[in-house]
Amino acid sequence: MTDSSDKAYRLEFERRSNYLLVRVTGHNSAETVGQYLQDLKDECQKQQCFRVLIDEQLAGERLDVGEVFAIASDGAMDSMGLFQAIAYVEPKMGEMGGFAENIAVNRGMPVRMFATVEEADQWLTGQSEGSGEKTIFEEHNARNNYR
């Protein structure tokens, strides 16, 4: 668990069979998301676990398009090659989740958005360790009718 006494969020980490489950609570803002993603990256490096399920439960207004674009783009570039798979659960994002996924995947981040933790868990559990980013990217392209 991350000490959040001076932060607008709280992170809880739980090691699962082949991934790290991260629950995020607190206030939703671009600054909060950017900070918790950095803390998550640090924890993944500490635990040497690069398959992650993020269960984001932040309260407050949804981020705007520009903020989502910046977070997805900058996050993908800052973590290039680090993660094997990221399952991201944030049901409030709606169609904005697909937008964020496209931005991140197009910049090399192996991420997929989900409406529920159960769906995300099934996806991560169904993938074998080391299945690689190519499979995730091919899956993304097929779901979005890209060639």
The enclosing domain of 28 has a CATH number of 3.30.750.24
Q: Is residue 77 part of a domain?
A: yes
Q: Determine the structural domain holding residue 94 and report its residue range.
A: 9-143
Q: Is residue 75 part of a domain?
A: yes
Better-predicted residue by pLDDT, 53 or 68: 53
pLDDT of residue 76: 85
* DSSP classification of residue 18: S
Reported confidence tier of residue 134, pLDDT bands at 50, 70, 90 = very low
Q: Is residue 2 part of a domain?
A: no
Q: Is residue 69 part of a domain?
A: yes
pLDDT of residue 141: 61
Reported confidence tier of residue 106, pLDDT bands at 50, 70, 90 = confident
* Helix and strand element counts for the chain (H, E): 5, 5
Cα(27)–Cα(45) distance, rounded to whole angstroms?
A: 25
Q: Which amino acid is at 12?
A: E
Supply the mean pLDDT for the chain.
85
Structure tokens at 40: 């998550």
Q: Is residue 43 part of a domain?
A: yes
Range with lowest mean pLDDT among 46-50, 69-73, 130-134: 130-134
Q: What is the pTM of this model?
A: 0.82
Within 10 Å of residue 80's Cβ, how many Cβ atoms?
10
pLDDT surpassing 90 at residue 36: yes
* Coil vs helix vs strand at 19: coil
